[in-house]
Amino acid sequence: MSQGFTSQMARNIFYGGTVFFVLLFAALILHTETKIPERSKAAEITPAVVRGKHIWETRNCIGCHTLLGEGAYFAPELGNVYTRRGPEFIKAWMQAMPTGAPGRRQMPQFHLNDEQLNDLVEFLKWTNGVDTQNWPPNIEG
């Protein structure tokens, strides 16, 4: 019985461990796939949200801002801006750009009409409702 560690024992440990971790990985995938629909609020996507996302993408907002942690870190996180500032502030801020404040980086003026501003706000409102499990950790993004 003092044979030590045999190649058959090593093979059994390898195959047993492989099966265990493949099953664990499959269980984690299944769990994630069942949680995504309720966390993403996909059922709440309206045509206005889709149009707002189109504005977000065509104006390359992600080139400066982050949204739910994705994007550039040049400007503030906007995943929770709807809660932080509210819809009227967002619209007024977009219309007031660039402010011309000296020493401050300037956001460009995109010349959005009222419908486009409303759609962008709806997109940010929907984004704000996504369950991010308390991300970002700082309320100011």
- In this model, does residue 1 exceed pLDDT 60? no
Record the pTM: 0.77
**Which pLDDT does position 2 carry in this prediction?**
61
Distance CA 109, CA 98 (A): 6
Q: Phi and psi of 72, rounded to 5°?
A: -90, 160
Tell me what percent of the chain is helix, strand and coil, each rounded to the nearest 5: 60, 5, 40
Owning domain of residue 82: 43-141
What residues are paired with 111 via a beta bridge? Answer: none
**Which pLDDT does position 141 carry in this prediction?**
62
Distance CA 52, CA 55 (A): 5
CATH of the domain at 92: 1.10.760.10
* Amino acid making up residue 49: V
Residues 47, 32 share a domain = no
Residues 129, 61 share a domain = yes
